[in-house]
């Protein structure tokens, strides 16, 4: 086969033509032969079994039957007519019904001739019937390239309306197989095919489009999924290796005075084993000559701030500055207050730069940064402004990085001639499967245990009908001196409705918790920032006992005295949001509670989410359930990243194949880092083509 055959524009394929070509490009992104051969069915109709009429059941399953049409009649009905055929086999009779296209069907049907019919079975007037069945003469059925498993291709309304049906897509792919002679280059080396018992590429492509049996289909799917995930992993791992070879980092050679002084004399509590392990991993990175690019995952309250400070102290000990960038002013301020408290005994300067920093302060910060007297700068996007110049930035810590765009992160790189070491922190637990694919080019550290003395939060689900008991529970907690959050959902499309829900809730709480005995704060997105801060401040100081809010408090409010989180209409929140909100309590030594309030009508997904929250506090377990419920795209907002634009594999369902693919990609690069061995020529060739196509995965056949 000509190597460029698959780059041929789709316009040249038999049965296509300019009009169809234009539709295929617009609707499905099919531009070349390559695109159509890799346009895979998203489900299959199993036509491996044939039913007898006396075996039919009263369920609306799709069935396939061999028999004959022995009689046709037109039946008048309220609107128009219907055509009814009597269809028999050697066990009984049934009806076939058409509500339109009568003339064409009557002319084309052959009476008393064996047909294979297929369709959804109905039970009507004491008899089985199939409306608008698919029909094929038995002799044609036996002779066609059609297989027992019928592929169903993804489609759009526009395609169906313009006559590009599933049948037409199937025919176009048949044409391509005929034109290519069914020959396709392999993209995996022989040793991998043998070791993993994989079928070759040509066989896999044929069996994905025209499977004769479910076994053949399973082998084809496994082969193509493995290949797709193998090349994604190969690219991510290579990207990491190349970065480590090419991008030199500052070597932080010593663990100096500041680090040791703080570690030995000022740690407010003993580090957990997980924190110690993570700090070791970071120290190893910083001591090598490569630039660190590490993702630090840790649940809410797992102690990432201490790790961030110790890493910053390593930078300062080696003569460098550090910065910590957070997505919101509240979070940046919280980091600042937290660190200031920790370093009171140390001779280092820390400052805060956000949108609301006064001009005079800004000038002082800019001057101190350039002179090198300011050691750690904490801030929001304000850090990225061109005016902000460091004397020698050696470490950039980014908190909740998925809230920053790629261009924004790149600006941090260019604050120095040599890019700083990067530590990315997130409290959004990312399931391992997703982390391996999204952040496969980052090294990953996980803090998977809570600091000692923290009691797990008790979570319960209560219906609206239990509200009086819940209010009594709140009174009891306030009597013990505790504080309470009550959170209402916020759905962008309907701010008026949300605002009404919030105000109704506030009024009902105000009735049950009257002043002056009780003080209530209220915070929502439509308030002025100054008013919001004032209310938050009152709650933080303990001047109010109840905070009624929308999800603005999701990130970054730290009130150790708040011990109860009540989430109203909890079914309207996603799992990760519920988990983040729950993390606002449980920050002190007292037992904390999270109460999920809902009505009685709940969807299956809502029930699963609520049950998961009640059952576990483990963020990673929650993230795995979330991934299964929502799919990878939604969780990380990865639609934008393009990384998960997969043709056939599914990161959740094909978790095991992903692990296998990552193992073999790592092994291949460990044995042959530059893919120079003759047996890896196929891999190198395929990799180069993928790089040329710039998409992380663009199939090569």
pLDDT above 90 (res 531): no
Residue 3 pLDDT:
67
Instruction: List, in order, residues 6 or more apart from 283 with CB less than 8 Å away.
Output: 255, 314
- Over residues 413-422, the pLDDT tens digits come to 677 777 899 9
pLDDT at 498 (0 to 100)? 62
Supply the pLDDT for residue 638.
39
- 61, 64, 72, 53: which is closest to 122 by C-alpha? 61
Distance of alpha carbon 694 from alpha carbon 690, whole angstroms: 6
* pLDDT tens sequence across 124-137: 888 999 999 999 99
Q: Which residues of 520-536 are buried (b: 16+ CB within 10 A; e: fewer)?
A: bbbbbeeeeeeebbebb
**Which sign, positive or negative, has the C-alpha torsion 433, 435, 441, 447?**
negative
Phi/psi of residue 324, nearest 5 degrees: -125, 125
| CA distances (Å), origin 158, targets 14, 22, 77, 168 | 21, 12, 31, 14
pLDDT value of residue 477: 95
Tokens of 640: 């934008």
Q: What confidence tens digit (pLDDT) does each residue in 23-75 have?
A: 999 999 999 999 999 999 988 887 777 899 998 887 657 889 999 999 999 99
Cβ-contact 196, 656 below 8 angstroms? no
Return phi, psi of residue 123, to 5°.
-110, 120
- pLDDT at position 636 is 46
Alpha carbon distances (Å) from 277 to 139, 339, 446? 69, 21, 9
> 551 vs 405, which has greater pLDDT?
551
Is the pLDDT reported for residue 2 higher than 50?
Answer: yes
Residue 543 has pLDDT above 60, yes or no: yes
CA distance linking residue 59 with residue 51, whole number of Å? 14
The terminus-to-terminus CA distance of the chain in angstroms comes to 11
Given a contact cutoff of 8 angstroms between Cβ atoms, the answer to whether 425 and 419 are in contact is no
Per-residue pLDDT, 641:
38
The predicted pLDDT at position 1 comes to 65
Q: How confident is the model at residue 147 (pLDDT cuts 50, 70, 90)?
A: low
Work out the pLDDT band at 627, boundaries 50, 70, 90.
confident
Pair 680, 668: CB distance under 8 Å: yes
DSSP state of 128: E
Q: Report how far residue 38's alpha carbon sits from residue 40's, in angstroms, rounded to the nearest whole number.
A: 6
**Residue range 449-469: mean pLDDT, rounded:** 88
Q: What whole-number percentage of the chain has pLDDT above 90?
A: 50
Q: Rounded to whole angstroms, what are the CA distances from 568 to 75, 575, 582, 599? A: 56, 14, 12, 10
Q: Is the dihedral of CA 234, 237, 240, 241 positive or negative?
A: negative
Q: What is the pLDDT of residue 554?
A: 47
- Average of pLDDT values for 80-89? 94
Over residues 310-334, mean pLDDT: 92
Residues of the chain with pLDDT > 70, as a percent, come to 90
Which of 105-114, 241-250, 410-419, 638-647 shows the lowest per-residue confidence on average (mean pLDDT)? 638-647
Residue 590 pLDDT > 50: yes
Query: Distance between CA atoms of 447 and 429, rounded to whole angstroms?
Result: 10
pLDDT: which is higher, 451 or 23: 23
- Per-residue confidence (pLDDT) for residue 640, from 0 to 100: 33
Grouping H, G, I as helix, E, B as strand and the rest as coil, residue 643 is: coil
User: In which region does residue 125 sit, left (phi positive, over 0), alpha (psi from -120 to 50) or beta (all else)?
Assistant: left
Cβ pair 283, 432 in contact under 8 A: no
457 C-beta neighbours (distance < 10 Å), count:
22
- Specify whether the CB–CB gap between 96 and 87 falls below 8 A: yes
Block residue for tokens 């050679």 = 253
d(CA 615, CA 70): 61
SS3 318: coil
In the predicted structure, residue 698 carries a pLDDT above the cut 50: no
Token pair belonging to 503? 């105000």
What is the pLDDT at residue 143?
75
Strands (E), 62-221: 62-76, 81-89, 92-98, 115-120, 122-124, 127-131, 134-137, 149-152
Is pLDDT at 481 greater than 70 in this prediction?
yes
Largest CA distance in the chain: 98
Which segment of 315-329, 503-517, 563-577, 684-698 scores lowest on mean pLDDT? 684-698
Q: Find, among 41, 32, 5, the residue nearest to 180 by Cα.
A: 5
The reported pLDDT for the residue numbered 433 is 66
Distance CA(403)–CA(427), nearest Å, equals 12
Provide the token pair at 506: 């506030």
Looking at residues 623-634, what average pLDDT do you find? 73
DSSP codes of every residue in 67-103: EEEEEEEEEE-SSSEEEEEEEEETTEEEEEEESS-HH
Band (429; pLDDT cuts 50, 70, 90): confident
Q: Over the stretch 343-383, which tens digit does the pLDDT of each residue have?
A: 999 999 999 999 889 999 999 999 999 999 999 999 998 89
Distance CA 545, CA 584 (A): 15
Residue 589, pLDDT > 70, answer yes
For the record, the structure tokens of 301 come out as 């309250």
pLDDT at 440: 66
Among the residue ranges 2-6, 68-72, 291-295, 679-683, the one predicted with the least confidence is 2-6
Please, what are the domains in the chain? 1-42+148-180 (1.10.150), 49-146 (2.40.50.140), 257-287+303-426 (3.40.50.300), 458-616 (3.40.50.300)
pLDDT band at 635 (very low <50, low <70, confident <90, very high): very low
291 pLDDT band (50/70/90 cuts)? confident
Nearest-angstrom CA–CA distance, 87 and 101: 19
- Measured CA to CA in angstroms, residue 570 lies from 552, 577, 609, 631 at distances of 15, 10, 9, 20
Query: Most confidently modeled of 218-232, 427-441, 449-463?
Result: 218-232
What is the pLDDT of the chain when averaged over all its residues?
86
């Amino acid at each position: 086969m000509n190597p460029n055959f698959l780059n041929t524009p789709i316009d040249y394929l038999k049965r296509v033509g300019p009009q169809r070509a234009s539709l295929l490009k617009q609707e499905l992104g099919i531009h070349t032969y390559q695109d159509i051969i890799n346009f895979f069915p998203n489900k299959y109709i199993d036509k491996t079994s044939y039913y007898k009429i006396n075996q039919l059941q009263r369920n609306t399953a799709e069935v396939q039957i061999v028999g004959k049409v022995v009689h046709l009649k037109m039946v008048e009905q309220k609107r128009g007519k219907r055509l009814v055929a009597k269809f028999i086999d050697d066990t009984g009779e049934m009806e076939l019904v058409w509500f339109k296209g009568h003339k064409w069907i009557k002319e084309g049907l052959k009476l008393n001739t064996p047909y294979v019919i297929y369709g959804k079975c109905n039970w009507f007037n004491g008899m089985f019937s199939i409306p608008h069945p698919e029909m094929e003469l038995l002799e044609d059925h036996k002779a066609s390239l059609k297989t027992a498993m019928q592929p169903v291709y993804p489609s759009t309304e526009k395609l169906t309306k313009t006559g590009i049906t599933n049948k037409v897509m199937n025919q176009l792919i048949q044409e391509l197989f005929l034109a290519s002679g069914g020959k396709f280059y392999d993209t995996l080396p022989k040793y991998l095919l043998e070791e993993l018992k994989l079928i070759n590429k040509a066989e896999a492509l044929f069996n994905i489009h025209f499977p004769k049996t479910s076994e053949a289909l399973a082998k084809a799917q496994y082969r193509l999924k493995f290949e797709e995930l193998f090349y994604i992993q190969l690219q991510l791992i290579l990207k990491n290796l190349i970065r480590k070879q090419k991008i030199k980092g500052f070597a932080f050679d010593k663990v100096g005075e500041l680090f040791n002084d703080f570690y030995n004399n000022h740690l407010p509590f003993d580090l957990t084993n997980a924190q110690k392990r993570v700090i070791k991993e970071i120290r190893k990175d910083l001591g090598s000559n490569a630039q660190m690019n590490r993702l630090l995952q840790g649940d809410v309250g797992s102690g990432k701030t201490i790790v961030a400070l110790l890493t910053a102290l390593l930078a300062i000990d080696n003569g460098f500055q550090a910065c910590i960038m957070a997505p919101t002013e509240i979070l940046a301020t919280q980091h600042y207050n937290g660190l200031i408290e920790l370093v009171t005994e140390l001779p280092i300067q820390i400052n805060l730069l956000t949108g609301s920093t006064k001009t005079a302060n800004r000038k002082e910060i800019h001057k101190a940064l350039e002179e090198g007297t300011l050691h750690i700068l904490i801030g929001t996007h304000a850090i990225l402004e061109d005016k902000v110049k460091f004397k020698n930035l050696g470490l950039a810590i980014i908190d909740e990085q998925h809230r920053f765009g790629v261009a924004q992160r790149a600006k941090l790189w260019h604050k120095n001639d040599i890019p700083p070491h990067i530590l990315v922190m997130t409290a959004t637990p990312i399931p391992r499967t997703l982390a391996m694919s999204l952040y496969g080019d980052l090294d990953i550290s996980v803090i998977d245990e809570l600091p000692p003395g923290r009691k797990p939060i008790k979570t319960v689900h209560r219906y609206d009908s239990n509200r009086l008991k819940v209010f009594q529970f709140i009174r009891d907690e306030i009597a013990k001196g505790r504080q309470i959050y009550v959170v209402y959902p916020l759905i962008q499309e309907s701010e008026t409705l949300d605002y009404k829900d919030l105000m109704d809730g506030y009024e009902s709480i105000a009735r049950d918790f009257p002043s002056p005995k009780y003080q209530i704060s209220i915070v929502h997105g439509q308030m002025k920032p100054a008013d919001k801060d004032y209310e938050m401040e009152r709650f933080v100081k303990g001047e109010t006992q109840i905070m009624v809010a929308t999800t603005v408090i999701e990130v970054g409010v730290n009130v150790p005295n708040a011990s109860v989180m009540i989430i109203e209409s909890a079914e309207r929140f996603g799992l990760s949001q519920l988990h983040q909100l729950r993390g606002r309590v449980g920050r002190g030594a007292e037992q904390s509670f999270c109460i999920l309030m809902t009505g009685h009508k709940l969807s299956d997904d809502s029930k699963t989410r609520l049950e998961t929250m009640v059952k576990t506090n483990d963020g990673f377990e929650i993230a795995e359930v979330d991934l299964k419920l929502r799919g990878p795209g939604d969780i990380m907002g990865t639609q934008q990243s393009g990384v998960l634009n997969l043709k056939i594999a599914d990161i959740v369902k094909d978790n095991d194949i992903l692990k296998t693919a990552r193992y073999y990609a790592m092994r291949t690069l460990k044995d042959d880092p530059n893919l120079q061995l003759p047996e890896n020529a196929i891999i190198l060739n395929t990799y180069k083509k993928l790089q040329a196509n710039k998409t992380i995965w663009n199939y090569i056949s």
